[in-house]
């Protein structure tokens, strides 16, 4: 018999005290995504998602997410997508979940659909819906966001930060000289930076975009809301879309936001290319030589895709770049098809294993059992299995032969 997932039990116990009138009688562990521990709780009237943010980047604090949610309500009252609506927030001591710092626990309404996961959007319907959602997001007035104290990055600041990162990358000696020249020439073009900063999501990834089979339903992880270059969101989105669907995505964005600046797509493609350079800088900062070599190899592959035969090579500060293997070459070839080789590579480097079929809301074609898991999970993290299709079940798979597992009676334990 397996061990009870004590972290999920602790989270359930905390959540049961957070909201007046909410006395959960059912609980179902959910995949952690980036949160750490997540549980779907329900009583006779409603279901809520409790999350213990044991893995969250503290720089995007929950207070910011709560304030961002309030601003979203003001800016997008008629949007075709939704976002997290926090119902309660509390903080527990670090020893409660064995974390280095105190843990923030949230209670929120479930989001419709399921996280995108590691399967890119390949159909034009969802690509168009994603574009429409971002066009709506970027069309709002920036004043409520800036007045609330969220960061504001004007075009000159955005250009400065990019050129600064380019200088840092050049100093490593691991970037092919033709790539450096290409990016310097492109990012120094004055016309490229003639745009008005807009509200942006700022943290789009495979865990923050919720979809069904037809459209984007919700955007999560909204705590990095800010006023900045809308191309930042488009570049991040491009890493989540199959290359064949990217033209549809960009065309729909243009049609849905006709007042967008004429260079927004060009900047998005350049920023997507730039993602692998950021990966190199992160590897250098961490001191991980293997990661540095991998990033340098991918940059070399990307350079060969863009400029044909091998170029002059990187600056000699740390010796020549490692010859690229067939894997990085293939990744660069695929990304070049959509003008953003590095986006796919960087996105895949540290992407969590997401169960995209698991959802947080009951809908007409998705079912979440009200089962009470007993002894199926390990002490730290549960493993989950889900079947895509009309009957999606959220339940643990570890020790699934145990007769106590999969109790669908709905009784509490």
Identify the domain containing residue 378 by its residue range: 6-112+360-396
Asked which of 2-6, 57-61, 268-272 is least confident by mean pLDDT, the reply is: 57-61
Question: In this structure, are 146 and 41 located in the same domain?
Answer: no
Question: In this structure, are 61 and 101 located in the same domain?
Answer: yes
CB atoms within 10 A of CB 397: 13
Residue 134 in domain: yes
Question: In this structure, are 57 and 132 located in the same domain?
Answer: no
Question: In this structure, are 68 and 170 located in the same domain?
Answer: no
* Tens digit of each residue's pLDDT (9 = 90 or more) over 113-139: 999 988 999 999 999 999 999 999 999
Residues in the chain: 413
Question: In this structure, are 266 and 390 located in the same domain?
Answer: no
**CATH classification of the domain holding 14:** 3.30.200.20
* Tens digit of each residue's pLDDT (9 = 90 or more) over 210-232: 999 999 999 999 989 999 999 99
Question: In this structure, are 329 and 385 located in the same domain?
Answer: no
Domain boundary among the residues 320, 349, 378 is at: 349
According to the model, what pLDDT value does residue 395 have? 29
Question: In this structure, are 245 and 344 located in the same domain?
Answer: yes
User: Shortest CA distance to 342 belongs to which of 176, 172, 127, 201?
Assistant: 176
Query: Is the pLDDT higher at 347 or at 171?
Result: 171
Question: In this structure, are 260 and 309 located in the same domain?
Answer: yes
Number of domains present in the structure of the chain: 2
Question: In this structure, are 202 and 129 located in the same domain?
Answer: yes
Backbone torsion region of residue 98, taken as left when φ is above 0, otherwise alpha when ψ lies between -120 and 50, otherwise beta:
left
Question: In this structure, are 315 and 392 located in the same domain?
Answer: no
Question: In this structure, are 129 and 86 located in the same domain?
Answer: no
Structure tokens at 322: 């490692």
* Tens digit of each residue's pLDDT (9 = 90 or more) over 137-151: 999 999 999 999 999
Question: In this structure, are 178 and 270 located in the same domain?
Answer: yes
């Amino acid at each position: 018999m397996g061990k009870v997932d004590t972290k999920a039990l602790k989270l359930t116990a905390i959540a049961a005290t957070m909201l007046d009138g909410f006395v959960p009688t059912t609980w179902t562990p959910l995949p952690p995504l980036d949160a750490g521990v997540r549980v779907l709780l329900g009583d006779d009237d409603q279901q809520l998602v409790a999350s213990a943010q044991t893995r969250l980047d503290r720089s995007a604090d929950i207070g910011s997410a709560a304030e961002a949610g309030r601003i979203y309500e003001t800016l997008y009252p008629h949007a075709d997508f939704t976002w997290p609506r926090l119902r309660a927030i509390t903080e527990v001591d670090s020893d409660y979940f064995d974390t280095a710092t105190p843990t923030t626990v949230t209670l929120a309404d479930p989001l419709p659909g399921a996280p995108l996961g590691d399967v890119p959007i390949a159909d034009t319907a969802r690509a168009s819906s994603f574009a429409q959602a971002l066009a709506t997001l970027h069309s709002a007035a920036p004043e409520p966001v800036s007045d609330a104290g969220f960061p504001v990055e004007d075009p000159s600041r955005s250009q400065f930060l990019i050129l600064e990162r380019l200088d840092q990358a050049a100093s490593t000696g691991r970037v092919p000289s033709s790539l450096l020249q290409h990016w310097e020439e492109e990012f120094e073009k004055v016309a490229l930076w003639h745009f008005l900063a807009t509200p942006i999501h700022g943290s789009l990834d495979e865990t923050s975009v919720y979809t069904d089979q037809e459209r984007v339903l919700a955007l999560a992880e909204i705590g990095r809301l800010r006023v900045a270059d809308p191309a930042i969101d488009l570049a991040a989105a491009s890493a989540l879309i199959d290359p064949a669907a990217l033209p549809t995505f960009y065309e729909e964005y243009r049609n849905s936001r006709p007042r967008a600046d004429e260079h927004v797509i060009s900047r998005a493609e350049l920023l997507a290319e730039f993602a692998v350079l950021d990966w190199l800088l992160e590897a250098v900062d961490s001191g991980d030589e293997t990661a540095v070599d991998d990033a340098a190899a991918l940059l070399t592959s990307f350079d060969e895709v863009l400029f044909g035969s091998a170029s002059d090579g990187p600056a000699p500060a740390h010796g020549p770049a490692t010859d690229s293997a067939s894997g990085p070459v293939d990744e660069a070839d695929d990304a070049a098809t959509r003008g953003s080789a590095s986006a796919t590579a960087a996105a895949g480097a540290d992407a969590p294993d997401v169960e995209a079929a698991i959802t947080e809301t009951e809908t007409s074609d998705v079912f979440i059992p009200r089962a009470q898991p007993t002894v199926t999970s390990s002490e730290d993290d549960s493993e989950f299995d889900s079947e895509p299709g009309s009957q999606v079940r959220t339940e643990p798979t570890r020790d699934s032969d145990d007769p106590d597992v999969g109790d669908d009676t709905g009784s509490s334990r």
